[in-house]
Structure 1
Amino acid sequence: MNRAQLLDEAARTAKAVPQPAPGTGREEDEVLAAYGVQRELVQLRLDRGDRLAGVKLGFTSEGKRRQMGVHDLILGQVTEGMAVADGADIDISGFIHPRVEPEVVYLLGRRIATVADALAPDAVVAVAPGIEIIDSRYENFRFSLADVVADNTSAAGFAVGPWQPYDPGAWNRGVVFELDGRAVHVGSTAAILGDPRRAVVEAARLAAAVGVELEPGWLLLAGAATPAEPLVPGSHVRTEIQGLGSVSFTARPAAEVAA
């Protein structure tokens, strides 16, 4: 079983795999090779009938990079099968050690193949509050930069709130991240790259480097505005972003969801 198949099986069986031994080459070369593993991993999902829904950036806040012990941005892919309906009860028994974090989500209005495309006026046509579920397939949620890239940046699920017209001038918005009705983090979208508008350019840069073109109608999960929190059965998760509204879901054990 190759590395992509091993990570795919870990996700399907909810059984973590050991972190690979540290690489001996240059980190840049290892990360580039890891994007190849990521492509294979995502293709396995597509071969089972899933469809691409967009891309996500990881480690866009300094706090998140410190939390996970890495130092650079990464790009992952999200699929329609990962989508969670706003307000839904969801089964989390299929995850290994899920965590949740608040996101700014952009709706892309054009094909983006270059950084110049990302700067076009119609690159983003709408924006929404979001919640991402991340779930590393490695034991203890520990990994190197190349390891997490290979694991499709721990992408596991996402919920998107109501779409609002995109106003590029309104980028510094307050964020409240709640668990069970209690605000666990209060922050700002400015935590995302210092200015979340940069996310489109960074996504274009990373995508071009690994041979991916961003498609019109795709989502771009621009990055977390706060550190992630563990997701446990019974948790009600809610994100509210100033001027954009809110998005939420409740984690349930499988038996309760079925009932």
Structure 2
Amino acid sequence: MSIDVEALAATLDGAARDVRAIPKLTEAEPFDVATAYAVQRAVIERRERRGERLAGVKMGFTSRAKMAQMGVDDVIWGLLTDAMVAGPSVEVSGLIHPRVEPEIAYLIGREVRSVADVESAVAGVAVGFEVLDSRFADFSFTLPDVVADNASAARFGVGAWHPPRDLANAGMVLEIDGRVAQTGSSAAILGDPARSLRAAARLALGAGITLEPGWVVLAGAATAAVPLPKDAHVRVTCAGLGAVEVTT
């Protein structure tokens, strides 16, 4: 039986727009990861037709523990658009069950034509955050489901950009309303977020997508994600990169 990629994309897109959790897509009809990425692209293309523009790439499953949990041996990735950029606040009522996590962000300064080219193409690094929002009920999914769902991407923000530097083991703290919610190190991101950056280039180029000047690469989470409540103040700090803040 052939999989209707556009129908699955419409289901996911509708769930996000209606702020409505849905059952896992694979419950009705199993499909593989390659099909899942086709669904992901179809969802993004629907958003582009509504006027959104690609703004970067986000990485997922960048901790060895998460890979083991999901039974995979490689990272996953999704696409960022300009509509996902958070301002000083994020309206969580427009999300299903948002969670927030601390990130290392890379700013692409010129077109990336190869994996070997990506590190020299970085124009800046920053501390960031990502707001995740699985469209699936109970934040529960299989690998193909989460890939199709654009790796649970919802919103993201970054702090001030700094010149590129070694970030292999930078301490990070996630605070909500002045209380520490998570602490960790950038080393949790594949041992060094630069590895995740290279993986982003590898996967994007393999899918026929070129990392463009001005795009952001979110290298992955340094800690577990935590629920993001309404009327909260979030602050993420990273040694050497300062802080980024957002309210809900």
Q: What is the DSSP-based 3-state SS (H/G/I as helix, E as strand, rest coil) of the residue aligned with 1:15?
A: coil
Q: Which residue of 2 aligns with 1:243?
A: 240
Q: Is the 8 A contact 1:82 1:158 kept in 2?
A: yes
Q: What is the DSSP-based 3-state SS (H/G/I as helix, E as strand, rest coil) of the residue aligned with 1:186?
A: strand
Matches for 1:89-168 after TM superposition, within 5 Å: 89-119=89-119, 121=120, 123-167=121-165
Return the letter of the residue paired with 2:159: G
Q: What is the DSSP-based 3-state SS (H/G/I as helix, E as strand, rest coil) of the residue aligned with 1:60?
A: coil
* Unaligned segments of structure 1, at least 5 residues: 252-259
Distance 2:204 2:95 in 1: 27
Return the letter of the residue paired with 2:57: V
Q: Which residue of 2 aligns with 1:6?
A: 11
Distance 2:90 2:202 in 1: 34
The CA deviation at 1:234 is: 1.6
Moved over 6 A (4+): none
Distance 1:24 1:96, change over 3 A: closer
Q: 1:46-69 CA distances to partner (integer Å, 9 max, x unpaired)?
A: 111111110110111134446x64
Question: TM-score scaled to structure 1, two decimals?
Answer: 0.88
Distance 2:111 2:61 in 1: 24
Q: Is the 8 A contact 1:133 1:155 kept in 2?
A: yes
The CA deviation at 1:211 is: 2.0
Question: TM-score scaled to structure 2, two decimals?
Answer: 0.92
Distance 1:75 1:61 in 2: 13
Match 1:178 to one of 175, 180, 200 = 175
Q: Is the 8 A contact 1:63 1:227 kept in 2?
A: no
Q: Which residue of 2 aligns with 1:190?
A: 187
Return the letter of the residue paired with 1:19: K
Distance 2:144 2:214 in 1: 29
Q: Is the 8 A contact 1:64 1:226 kept in 2?
A: no
Match 2:59 to one of 32, 57, 61 = 57
Q: Is the 8 A contact 1:111 1:117 kept in 2?
A: no
Q: Is the 8 A contact 1:17 1:139 kept in 2?
A: yes
The CA deviation at 1:239 is: 0.4
Q: Is the 8 A contact 1:63 1:226 kept in 2?
A: no
Q: What is the DSSP-based 3-state SS (H/G/I as helix, E as strand, rest coil) of the residue aligned with 2:11?
A: helix
* Unaligned segments of structure 2, at least 5 residues: 1-5
Return the letter of the residue paired with 2:7: N
Q: 1:130-158 CA distances to partner (integer Å, 9 max, x unpaired)?
A: 11001001111111111111111111000
Q: What is the DSSP-based 3-state SS (H/G/I as helix, E as strand, rest coil) of the residue aligned with 1:197?
A: helix
Distance 1:74 1:191 in 2: 16
Q: Is the 8 A contact 2:108 2:216 kept in 1?
A: yes
Distance 2:37 2:61 in 1: 16
The CA deviation at 1:248 is: 1.1
Distance 2:214 2:157 in 1: 16
Q: What is the DSSP-based 3-state SS (H/G/I as helix, E as strand, rest coil) of the residue aligned with 2:26?
A: coil
Distance 1:244 1:13 in 2: 37
Q: What is the DSSP-based 3-state SS (H/G/I as helix, E as strand, rest coil) of the residue aligned with 1:84?
A: coil
Q: Is the 8 A contact 2:8 2:25 kept in 1?
A: no
Matches for 1:20-31 after TM superposition, within 5 Å: 20-21=25-26, 30-31=32-33
Q: Is the 8 A contact 2:167 2:186 kept in 1?
A: no
The CA deviation at 1:14 is: 0.3
In percent, how many aligned pairs have the same letter? Answer: 50
The CA deviation at 1:82 is: 0.8
